[in-house]
Structure 1
Amino acid sequence: MDWDERSQRIAANTRNILDRTTASIARSQQIAIDAEQVGTEVLSELDDQRESLLRSQQRLQDANDHLSNSARMINSLKRNVLYNKYLLILIILLEVLILIGLTIIKFI
């Protein structure tokens, strides 16, 4: 009888260990499923953020292009203003020379 009792206890312990292992495997599977769902959500959110960053990058590139064009226009305007100043100075000098020349001719 001792042998049967001992075999039953071993079988009960083995069954208990098997039940705990099965429960542990079930918990591990549930954790894996939850982790997969979280990973899928994170990947979806990262994809959305990537698209947002790409749109922002394109907008920044467009703004940079517009700033470059504006800088070229401003440089062109500066150059035109400088040419106009030189032309105005030249005209003033010519007028002064003409006035001097007319004054000299009048007194001669």
Structure 2
Amino acid sequence: MSGFIWEDETRHAVLEGHATLERTAESLARSQRTAVETERIAEEVVSELGAQRETLLHSKRRLTDTDHELSQTRVLLRKMTLHVLTNKIILIFIIVLEICILAGVCYIKFSH
């Protein structure tokens, strides 16, 4: 009978060890699935970050180009403003000169 108890205890221990081994294997399988899923998600994130980086670099280049074009536009607007002011001064000078000539003609015509 003592041999039977020993065999029963051994069998119970082996069954517990086997159950523990199965739980460990299942846990490892879940961990491996989680690791694979995490790796897939990480690859997607890296891919998306790469695309965002390219978008940001493209935007930066466009902003640099826009800044350069704005600088050229400012220079052009300053030149145009200077030309407009110069034309206004010339026009005012011509108007004043015409008024003086008209006044001189009127003076000469009505004084004789």
Answer whether TM exceeds 0.5 for this pair: yes
What range describes the TM-score normalised by the shorter chain of this pair?
Answer: 0.7 to 0.9
Q: Does 1:13 align with 2:16?
A: yes
1:74 counterpart residue number: 77
Read off the aligned partner of 1:82 and give its amino acid letter. Answer: L
1:29 counterpart residue number: 32
Aligned counterparts of 2:22 and 2:106: Cα–Cα separation in 1: 123
Measured after TM superposition, the shift of residue 30 of structure 1 is 2.0
Aligned counterparts of 2:45 and 2:102: Cα–Cα separation in 1: 84
Question: What TM-score, normalized by structure 1, do the two folds share?
Answer: 0.84
Superposition pairs of residues 1-108 of structure 1, within 5 angstroms: 1-105=4-108, 107=111
- Provide the aligned C-alpha RMSD in A: 1.8
The structure 1 segments of at least 4 consecutive aligned residues displaced by more than 2 Å after TM superposition are 98-108
Question: What TM-score, normalized by structure 2, do the two folds share?
Answer: 0.82
Structure 1, unaligned stretches of length 5 or more? none
Structure 2, unaligned stretches of length 5 or more? none
Aligned counterparts of 1:41 and 1:104: Cα–Cα separation in 2: 92
Aligned counterparts of 1:45 and 1:97: Cα–Cα separation in 2: 76
Aligned counterparts of 1:92 and 1:45: Cα–Cα separation in 2: 68
